[in-house]
Chains A and B, each alone.
Chain A
Amino acid sequence: MIVLLAAAVIFPFFAGRYMMSIGVSVLLMAALGQSWNIMSGYAGQFSFGHAAFFGVGAYTSSILYVDYGVSPWIGMLLGMGAAALLGVLIGFLSFRYHLRGDFFALVTLAFAEILRVLFNNSAALKGAEGVLIPYRDVWQEFQFRDDRIFYLILLLMVIAITAFIGVISRRKFGVCLIAIKESQGVAQSLGVPVLKYKLAAMAVSGAAAAMAGTFYAQYYGFIDPGTVFTSSISVEAIVPCIIGGSGTLSGPLLGALIIVPLQELSNSLFEDVHGLNMVIYGVLIVVFIMFCRDGIYGALVKRQKGVET
């Protein structure tokens, strides 16, 4: 873990432009994955709409910045708040009507789609044209000429979310989330305030995804509904968890570290096959769900335990 961290920190000082962009992609996927991990990996509420939170984060900071001159740092915090509220809203509506499993996943998907359509068609929200972030090299405005700083900030975000998960997984909140995932009914019988905890997990998870959304907007300098509210963002939140091991601390990190390079490789090999990455995701998910339920990290842990005993 520490070696990995050290490698991640010194990476930008050795990597070229191309490698840097891959590094950012890995971290972005890791951030999204960890965000998904809280709500779906730990609390067991399967989200198929994390793009909703990501997009809300990206749009909140971007519109506030472009139209009102609010620093994206502040915009990021506001976006996180908005996404947390959205999480609570989605959760409240779903749980109020006792939606679980597939139906819950569909509701999250529906919210992401509704937001995409809404942003696409509303002039006040910049419509299909999206938002272009004007470039100024001012750190107070979350802008840096040096990509390495962007990278390190994103790394810090990933560390923060991961540390958060690490802390809660040893405390009441995390243990109770796993209990809820395994059996909500039993958890209730033991006095766990199930609704409150699920909503809290959704709020935190949404906020984390929104943070990644703001980063995305600031780093790439452009967002539109088709990129930030698209279901491929939602998929990118899920895939690293399924591959690496959802409900584990380092699984999603490992997943992101494996998938992004794999995706780059396939893109360079089959340059003109559009949408190939989605096909690869699909195949990977099916394979892992069939043969490696616990993900790579989970399998490794099991293996190690097997050797020990």
Chain B
Amino acid sequence: MTGLLQVIDVCKSFQGNVAVDHASLTVEEGAVTGLIGANGAGKTTLFNCISGYYHPNSGTILFQGKEIQRVQPEKLCRLGIGRTFQIVRPFGLLSVLDNAAVGGYNRGTGKKEAYAIARECLALVGLEDKLEMPAAALNTGEQRRLELARALATRPKLLLLDEVMAGLTPTESKEMIGLIEQIHQKGMTILMIEHIMPAIMSLSHRIYVMERGAVIADGSPEEVAHNPRVIASYLGSRGGGTEYAEHH
């Protein structure tokens, strides 16, 4: 079976620094696919390649069977790739509703439709009573959910989530897991990066593990959790919790 998204042998380096090294992965339609790896493993860089922010130095990315590795981000959004960012960046000056409406305009042909989509997505993430609030006034948890709503409002076929639980309290993380589960139940295909192990283990159908730019293992959550190489390289070396800035 060919997946909704196929990353084939993708390389991306920055001035000789290899960030993604011959990485390949497949995201099956309707599944939740996890992407894990230590800080600096190249996960976000791979996301940026998939969503058009970086063009790979080599390799192919297929979305619905079509090559997209040289397509621009806004075009990819039109094609059906939605994403969130590791560092939340709400449009602080705009209201919560307007934030989501920016996404809604991707499919909404007019203002009415765009705002209807925006309201629907905000209701889904539980922000329906903060519509008129400036987005800058939301707390981190709410901003994460706004990001999610904003991406959903573009009506993606594939949703890329880059550490949507970073900075959340345990309770908020739990809610976020429920939310992602719910979105998946509605038929969304999801590729997500996550450092919180229990979260990614419970949500994913298949997990890919990256180390120094390369995909070193993949399989079901159990397989990956018991893979000696993964334990050695990743699970063992975790800690410190240094947050990398997002590069783009």
Contacts and interface: CB of A to CB of B under 8 A. Distances in A.
Contacts of B248: 185
Contact of B105 (A176, A188, A189): A176
Given A171-B111, A172-B114, A187 B93 contact: no
Contacts of B105: 172, 176, 190-192
Contacts of A166: none
B89 A183 contact: yes
Q: Is the interface of A mostly helix, strand, loop or mixed?
A: helix
B72 A188 contact: yes
A97 to B, nearest CB: 16
B91 A188 contact: no
Contact of B94 (A171, A175, A188, A192): A175
Given A171-B111, A176-B102, A179-B102, A189 B73 contact: yes
Contacts of B111: 171-172
B89 A192 contact: no
Chain B interface residue number, banded: 20 to 34
Nearest to A181: B93
Nearest to A190: B103
B83 A189 contact: yes
Interface stretch (B10-18, B74-82, B229-237): B74-82
Interface string B28-53: 00000000000000000000000111
Nearest to A170: B111
B65 to A, nearest CB: 21
Interface in B87-122: 89, 91-94, 98-99, 101-103, 105-106, 111, 114
Given A171-B111, A175-B101, A189 B77 contact: yes
Nearest to B81: A189
A247 interface: yes
Interface of A: 171-172, 175-176, 178-179, 181-183, 185-194, 247
| In the complex, the 10 A-B pairs of residues with the closest C-beta atoms, listed nearest first | A191-B106, A191-B77, A188-B73, A190-B103, A182-B91, A183-B89, A179-B102, A188-B74, A179-B91, A190-B102
Interface of B: 51-53, 72-74, 77-78, 82-83, 85, 89, 91-94, 98-99, 101-103, 105-106, 111, 114, 150-151, 153-154, 248
